[in-house]
Amino acid sequence: MADLATPGRRPVNANYSSGPCAKRPGWTLEALKDAALGRSHRAKIGKTKLLEAIELTREILGVPADYRIGIVPASDTGAVEMALWSLLGARGVDLLAWESFGEGWVTDVVKQLKLADVRTFTADYGDLPDLTRVDFDRDVVFTWNGTTSGVRVPDGNWIDADRKGLTICDATSAAFAQDLDWAKLDVVTFSWQKVLGGEAAHGMLILSPRAVGRLETYKPAWPLPKIFRMTKGGKLIDGIFVGETINTPSMLAVEDYLDALHWAKALGGFKALEARADANLAVLAKWVAKTPWIDFLAKSEATRSNTSVCLVVVDPAVKALDADGQAAFAKGLATALDKAGVAYDIGAYRDAPPGLRIWAGATIEASDLEILTEWLDWAFASQKAGLKKAA
C-alpha cells in the first residue's frame, strides 16, 4: 500500500521528550570541558559560575532588577514546594488546576499543608478554568503552561495589578518560550531541563519584592525542612540569591546550563527563543489543519502551548474503540515511531487523555518537526491497517 511507504527522510534529532528535553542544536560533551569538576561550589570558581547562571537568567528572561533569583534543589518541584510551604497560610488561597502538575499543587496545599481557607478552580484537559473567578485579595497558585495538557494561560491580563495576595506561578515549561508578565508575578519557578534542554535536579526560584516582604514578616505554623528555609532571624538569606546554594549543586549540570544560556544569548535572547518555539508550533499546526485523524488537545488556539504540544487521535474508527482500545492505538503510534528511531518519548502523559505529546521548545528544529509529521502519517496508516485486519 502506498500509504504504508516508509518516509525517505529522518529527523536529525529524534528526541521529543517533554523533560529532560532535547539539547541545543550542535551540543556535544565538549561544551562541558570547562566545568568546575572536583571543586567546591563554595570556592571562588564555583560561586562565580553559579552567579553567572543567575545573572544570565535575569538578562535573557528580562527579570526585573529588584526580583531575587535563586538556584534551589529538586528541580521545579523543589522550587514550587519551597514557595508553597514558606509563603502560604497568611491569607486565603485560590488554586488553579487544569492538568496533572497543577493538580499536584492542589494536593499539597489541601492534603499536606491542610489549609482551611482554600478555593479550587479546575478544568478538564484541553480547557482553562474560569480565570474571572479568581480573587486576587487571596494568594493564587497556578501553572503558566500545563505541561501535560498543552494548555497555557493566554497572557497576564487576567491578573490584578493591584492585588493584595501573592501570585505563585509554576512556569517550568513556559520560561524561555512564553512571555511571562513579570509585573503580575510574585513567585516564578522553573527547571533547567525544559526549554533550554539543561540537566535535571536543579530548580530556579524567582521572588518579587512583595514575596520577599511576605517571607520576612510571616512565619508559617508548621516546621520547615532545611532545604526550604530562606530566612534567618526574620531576614532573607541573601546568599541563596547570589549563588550560595542551600545544598551542593552539580557543577557539571551548572556548566551545561551556562552553555544553554550562552547559546540563547547568541541567538538573540528571549525573543529569539520564543520565535523558535512559535515556528515549531506553526509546523505542527499546519500539519494538524490538513490531517483529519489528529487534533490538538487544547480546544482554544489562544491557549495552545508552543512547547508541550498535546495531540489526540480523532479518526472515527479509533474514536469508536473503547477507552482501552483508544489508549492502545495511541501507544502503538508512539511505539512504532520509537522502534523506527525517529521520535522518542512522545506518548501522552500517564494522567492525560490518550494521545501524543511532542516537545516543540526552542532547542527543537522546525525542519525536524516537518519530517516528523511524515512519520506520524506513516505510523497512523500502519496502525489503521492493523485495525482493519483485526476487524
**pLDDT at residue 80 greater than cutoff 60:** yes
Can you give the pLDDT at residue 386?
Answer: 87
Q: What is the pLDDT of residues 17-46, one digit of tens each?
A: 999 999 999 999 999 999 999 999 999 999
Residues 197 and 320 in one domain: no
Query: CA–CA separation, 271 vs 277, rounded Å?
Result: 10
**Residue 56 placed within a domain:** yes
**CA-closest candidate to residue 24, choices 236, 214, 235, 199:** 199
With a pLDDT cut of 70, the percent of the chain lying above it is 99
**CA-closest candidate to residue 362, choices 57, 27, 23, 54:** 23
- Average pLDDT of the residues of the chain: 97
Residues 237 and 293 in one domain: no
Does residue 363 contact residue 192 with C-beta atoms inside 8 Å?
Answer: no
Q: What is the pLDDT of residues 92-146, one digit of tens each?
A: 999 999 999 999 999 999 999 999 999 999 999 999 999 999 999 999 999 999 9
Using the 3D structure, point to which of 266, 285, 304 is the last residue of a domain: 266
Q: List the grid coordinates of 24.
A: 541545543
Q: What is the pLDDT of residues 236-277, one digit of tens each?
A: 999 999 999 999 999 999 999 999 999 999 999 999 999 999
**CA-closest candidate to residue 53, choices 232, 192, 167, 220:** 192
Question: Scanning the structure block, which residue is given the C-alpha cell 539539547?
Answer: 23
Residues 258 and 274 in one domain: no
Q: What is the pLDDT of residues 181-216, one digit of tens each?
A: 999 999 999 999 999 999 999 999 999 999 999 999
Does residue 189 contact residue 171 with C-beta atoms inside 8 Å?
Answer: yes
Residues 318 and 213 in one domain: no
Q: How far apart are the first and last CA of the chain?
A: 18
Mean pLDDT of 346-369: 98
**pLDDT at residue 3 greater than cutoff 70:** no
Does residue 191 contact residue 206 with C-beta atoms inside 8 Å?
Answer: no
Mean pLDDT of 135-164: 98
Does residue 359 contact residue 22 with C-beta atoms inside 8 Å?
Answer: yes
Residues 10 and 54 in one domain: no
- Residue 252 CB contacts under 8 Å (≥ 6 apart), including other chains: 32, 35, 37, 199
Can you give the pLDDT at residue 158?
Answer: 98
Query: CA–CA separation, 174 vs 111, rounded Å?
Result: 27
Q: Beta 139-143 vs 93-97: how paired, if at all?
A: parallel
Q: List the grid coordinates of 208.
A: 518579587
Can you give the pLDDT at residue 81?
Answer: 98
Using the 3D structure, point to which of 242, 266, 290 is the last residue of a domain: 266
Residues 224 and 84 in one domain: yes
Does residue 238 contact residue 230 with C-beta atoms inside 8 Å?
Answer: no
- CATH number of the domain bearing residue 59: 3.40.640.10
Mean pLDDT of 378-384: 97
Does residue 42 contact residue 49 with C-beta atoms inside 8 Å?
Answer: no
Residues 260 and 280 in one domain: no
Does residue 277 contact residue 306 with C-beta atoms inside 8 Å?
Answer: yes
Mean pLDDT of 75-92: 98
Q: What is the pLDDT of residues 8-20, one digit of tens each?
A: 999 999 999 999 9
* Predicted confidence band of residue 391 (pLDDT cuts 50, 70, 90): low
With a pLDDT cut of 90, the percent of the chain lying above it is 97
**Residue 163 placed within a domain:** yes
Tell me how many domains the chain contains.
Answer: 2
**Residue 195 placed within a domain:** yes
Give the helix/strand (H/E) hosting 139: strand 139-143
**Residue 248 placed within a domain:** yes
Can you give the pLDDT at residue 390?
Answer: 76
Query: What residue numbers bound the domain in which 132 lies?
Result: 29-266
CA atoms within 13 A on the CB side of 193: 17
Can you give the pLDDT at residue 353?
Answer: 97
Residues 56 and 157 in one domain: yes
29-33 long-range Cβ contacts below 8 angstroms, 24+ apart: 31/255, 31/256, 31/259, 32/252, 32/255, 32/256, 32/259
**Residue 23 placed within a domain:** no
* CA 96 remoteness from chain centre: 16
Residues 243 and 297 in one domain: no
DSSP of 110-133, one letter per residue? IIIS--SSEEEEE--TT----GGG
Residues 125 and 176 in one domain: yes
**Residue 342 placed within a domain:** yes
**Residue 22 placed within a domain:** no
Q: List the grid coordinates of 319.
A: 474514536
**Residue 46 placed within a domain:** yes
Using the 3D structure, point to which of 206, 239, 266 is the last residue of a domain: 266
Residues 84 and 183 in one domain: yes
**pLDDT at residue 167 greater than cutoff 80:** yes
Residues 237 and 322 in one domain: no
Can you give the pLDDT at residue 1?
Answer: 35
Mean pLDDT of 46-62: 98
Q: How many CB atoms lie within 10 A of CB 106?
A: 18
Helix axes 44-61, 251-267, angle to 10 degrees: 30
Mean pLDDT of 75-91: 98
**CA-closest candidate to residue 83, choices 229, 240, 234:** 229
- CATH number of the domain bearing residue 359: 3.90.1150.10
**pLDDT at residue 65 greater than cutoff 50:** yes
Can you give the pLDDT at residue 2?
Answer: 41
Q: pTM of the entire structure?
A: 0.97
Q: List the grid coordinates of 2.
A: 502506498
Query: CA–CA separation, 198 vs 23, rounded Å?
Result: 7
Q: List the grid coordinates of 157.
A: 491580563
